[in-house]
Amino acid sequence: MKLGAQLFTLREYTQNEKDLAFSLQKVAEMGYTQVQISAVGPIAPEVIASLCRGNGLEIVLTHTNVERIRTETEAVIQEHEKMQCPYIGIGYMPDRYHHPEWLEHFVWDFQEAAKKIRQAGMLLMYHNHDFEFRKVGGKRILEYLAESFSPEEMGFTLDTYWVQAAGGDVCQWIEYLKGRIPCVHLKDMDMGETGQIMAPVLEGNMNFPTILDALQKAGAQHLLVEQDVCRESPFVCLKKSYDNLAALGYR
């Protein structure tokens, strides 16, 4: 398993080519060898690819506009080909699909795109938050998605923090999605004065040695460090996570 940085963590510093170039250089200097492209500014995919290659960084996953995945599938595939990126990610299910009356429409709306992406040699990926652990019709939304899409049609970018926030057992869900989580988001959970807060990996209260062992057994390949909210510089947080994971032998 290789360590990567989820660029959503640095979203305020990736909105133009100059800032992205600087941020990618810093990420590479930390030791990361892979990145996820998410929330960057309107920069051409070939430029993003060139900047990443120049810093020795492999693009393994994106979070791409959901409606573009559905309605501009071929264009999205071409962009990922330019970036040599195998995984096309849905970062968040639009709110309208969260309700019982419309959940199945998500499957109807994205199955064709999922098949086209697979035919292109890529895989559509779904990233969870906490609401997917709510039951709809007696079944959790994440379970419904896993049963509605085949492994060839959809993989899952399991987010460790959001599983924990939903009250789930992270290792149990890793086992449930075994073979379908090539990419995962690593972020830790700590407690602040007003409740749960995000923290660099191995600086919160989650049992990451056990989680990482479970991920290894489940076939995870890309460990993408993410911290949506940082109490200090996001560059500092990414570096702390890298150093803590590298001390366990992950690089």
Per-position b or e across 22-57, b if 16+ CB within 10 A of its CB: ebbebbbebebbbbbbbbbeebebeebbebbeebeb
Does domain 2-246 fall under CATH 2.40.100.10? My reply is: no
- Spatial contact of 69 and 113, defined as CB atoms under 8 Å apart: yes
CA distance 153 to 244: 34
| Mean pLDDT of all residues in 222-238 | 97
In the chain, pLDDT over 90 holds for what percent of residues? 97
* 2: DSSP letter: E
Strand pairing report for 123-127 and 87-90? parallel
- Averaged over 7-21, what is the pLDDT? 98
Averaged over 151-161, what is the pLDDT? 98
Q: Which amino acid would we find at residue 169?
A: D
Q: If DSSP codes are grouped into helix, strand and coil, which group holds residue 7?
A: helix
Confidence of residue 34 (pLDDT cuts 50, 70, 90): very high
pTM of the shown model: 0.96
Q: Which amino acid is at 63?
A: H
3-state DSSP call for residue 153?
Answer: coil
Q: Where are the domains of the chain?
A: 2-246
Residue 40 has pLDDT above 90, yes or no: yes
d(CA 10, CA 201): 16
- Among candidates 100, 166, 94, 181, which has minimal Cα distance to 139? 100
3-class DSSP state for residue 156? strand
Residue 84 has pLDDT above 90, yes or no: yes
Give the mean pLDDT of the chain. Answer: 97
**pLDDT(63) > 90:** yes
Measured N-to-C along each axis, helices 73-83 and 103-119 cross at an angle, to the nearest 10 degrees, of 50
Name every residue whose Cβ is closer than 8 Å to that of residue 106 and which is 6 or more positions away in sequence. 93, 97, 145
Q: What is the per-residue pLDDT for 68? A: 97
| pLDDT attached to residue 137 | 86
According to the model, what pLDDT value does residue 111 have? 97
